[in-house]
Amino acid sequence: MKLTTFNPQIITKDAEGVVQLFEALGFERRHTKEEIGELGVTGIRMKDANGFYLDISQSDRLPVDCIQAIRMNVDDFDEAYRLFTDRGFKNFYGDRVVENPTSRSAVMIAPSGFVINLVQHIRK
């Protein structure tokens, strides 16, 4: 398994407020994916002039207002998913994986509480 991207992610109930804050810090919106998968998550990718990426996701299913995470893109989702579950991580969505035509993902929570959004891009 190879890491293809690694950057911070903010998962929140109010994405627009977070986007505005980071725009004020010099980040620009690269793209937005509305209603990703059946869980209704909106994903926003941002980048600044130094090449730093930030992902902001909006979900109404959060038990709190905001979760800070690491977005980790990999080339083999199943292998990475097993690596994390073998180390005690739990999928936020139970056994469900968010799938759409361009990616597969799962929000993985460590026993200590830190969060990794595991993603594999599907390239055609």
Q: Sorting pLDDT into bands at 50, 70 and 90, what band is 37? A: low
Query: Kind of pairing, strands 28-36 and 90-91?
Result: unpaired
Q: What is the pLDDT of residues 91-116, one digit of tens each?
A: 988 988 988 888 899 999 999 999 99
Which residues, in sequence order, are CB contacts of 24 under 8 Å at separation 6+?
none
Predicted pLDDT at 39:
63
Which residues, in sequence order, are CB contacts of 112 under 8 Å at separation 6+?
none
Report the first-to-last Cα separation within the chain, whole angstroms.
19
Q: What is the pLDDT of residues 57-101, one digit of tens each?
A: 988 877 788 899 999 999 999 999 999 999 999 998 898 898 888
